[in-house]
Amino acid sequence: MPRTIPGTRRRTFGNTWWGRAWVEALEQRASVDPNRLPRGRTYARKDTVSELHVGAGEVTARVRGSRPEPYHVTIRMREFSPEQWDSLLDVVGRRLGHAAALLDGELPEKLAAQAREAGADLLPGPGDLKPRCSCPDSANPCKHVAAVYYVVADEVDTDPFVLFKLRGRPRDEVLARLRTLRTPDRPQRKKVHDPGLTPKRAYARRVTAVPRLPPVPDVAGPPAVLDLDPPPNTGWTSATLGTLAADAASLARDLLLSGGATAELSFEEDLARRAAARTSAELPALAHAAGVALPELTTWAHAWREAGRDGLAALRETWSPGPGPLADARACLSDSGLPDPTTTWRNRVTQGPLQLRYGRDHRWYRFLRTGSAWQLDGPPSTRALDVAYPPG
């Protein structure tokens, strides 16, 4: 149990919102004498509470006081009726994220609010707490009981299922009931002995055609909406996971359309593919995370939109294809009317601001100079003439 160390910050009770909600319920809603709570809080900070045990509907503990023998404290909390449990479990089971959060050690604030609205408030209200202490103090609560009230907040912090247990049902029972609600009883069918399929009958069966695959959707579907954010200490958010899920769906669609040709993407190719699906406002964050200059990533994204991985290869790669294709490109550019001379370097034929690049896929790509960079301008073609003088 935490102790107050001289020179450090004074100990508080309730380090999670649900732990603080327990303390606030004690101080504001449970009709506990507010004049008695401060002394109990001071007692709890002095580490006087020991042997704390939380059972179904009950808390027991020993509290060191002015006498040598610690006082015995028992606090009963009003348990829910079957109808209230039905209401509470309906709230928990209505959204998968509620149960997932509880199992991850968190209590969604929305769950607590919905439970209270349904008449099954997990936090103590007026008349819910019935304390008893072996000390001679007749006040309710005495400082020993009040100290236990505050220390229970530590237990609630650690496991929000403590609130369920105090209302009468432990974690295992709650989870078992949730599983039952999600898997309603089905009528049991009479089991019939099935001798199975004999080899003779199996070979005599007619082979039917494999059903056709459904068409590839025009766009990748949106990701499912998460009920709640991942735990804060993971560094992830629902928005980030949604972006990754949308990207995975887009890649799956690309794989279907390409027959698996995009299965082995390099880092640069996958980055360009992801950038092509982003808006210009989203690109700076992606470029920073990938360690790539923003202008370079913007050019990659544009090339990918125009011609996919082959367009990106035409942007980034150079190679020596042989004289035949290059001669065709030079002949096309000689009729362009541009005053600049035609130059050839490896797979690139350039005249002024226009450049034709011959790809390893044996197609031509048209590039235009923008400042000091070259940008892909339109789809590729197997003929240099088509990209040198595109229609329109």
pTM tops 0.85, yes or no: no
Shared domain check, 327 and 301: no
Tokens of 284: 């700076």
Average pLDDT over residues 312-318: 94
- Is the pLDDT reported for residue 2 higher than 60? no
Q: In this predicted model, what pLDDT tens digit does every residue of 122-154 receive, in sequence order?
A: 999 888 999 999 999 888 889 999 999 999 988
The predicted model gives 106-118 an average pLDDT of 88
**Are 135 and 65 in contact, with CB atoms under 8 Å apart?**
yes
At a CB cut-off of 8 Å and minimum separation 6, what does 336 contact? 351, 354, 388, 389
Region class of 105: left (phi > 0), else alpha (psi between -120 and 50), else beta: left
| Residues 260, 296 within the same domain | yes
Based on the fold, state whether residues 304 and 338 are members of the same structural domain: no
Contacts of 91 (CB under 8 A, 6+ apart): 98, 111, 114, 115, 118, 120
> Do 311 and 334 fall into the same domain?
no
Residues 175, 294 within the same domain = no
Whether residue 125 sits in one domain with residue 264: no
Q: Among residues 288, 316, 344, which one ends one of the domains?
A: 316
**pLDDT bracket for residue 251 (50, 70, 90):** confident
**Separation CA 358–CA 341 (nearest Å):** 19
Element (H, E) at 305: helix 294-316
Same domain for 294 and 330, yes or no, is no
**265 with 303, same domain?**
yes
Indicate whether 130 and 274 sit together in one domain: no
Q: Which residue carries 């942007």 as its tokens?
A: 315
pLDDT digits (tens, 9 = 90+) for 7-66: 344 577 888 888 889 988 888 877 787 778 888 888 888 889 999 999 999 999 999 988
Of 316, 338, 362, the residue at which a domain comes to its end is 316
Shared-domain flag, residues 167 and 257: no
End-to-end CA distance of the chain: 78
In a domain, 113, yes or no: yes
Task: Return the closest-CA partner of residue 102 out of 249, 231, 240.
Answer: 231
Quote the CA–CA distance of 336 and 79 in Å, as a whole number.
88
In a domain, 157, yes or no: yes
CA-CA distances (angstroms) from residue 181 to 33, 149, 166?
40, 33, 22
Mean pLDDT (the chain, rounded):
84
Residue 189 has pLDDT above 70, yes or no: no
- How many C-beta atoms surround the C-beta of residue 305 within 10 A? 15
Counting the structural domains of the chain, the total is 3
How is residue 367 written in tokens? 């590039």
Collapsing DSSP to helix, strand or coil, 114 comes out as helix
**Domain range spanning residue 259?**
246-316
Determine which of 42-56, 85-99, 142-156, 173-187 has the lowest per-residue pLDDT on average.
173-187
143 plus 284 within the same structural domain: no
Tell me if 102 is assigned to some domain: yes
Asked, for residue 232, whether it belongs to a domain, the answer is no
Per-residue pLDDT band for 294 (boundaries 50, 70, 90) equals very high
Say if residue 56 is in the same domain as residue 169. yes
What are phi and psi for residue 159, nearest 5 degrees? Answer: -150, 105
Residue 196 belongs to a domain: no
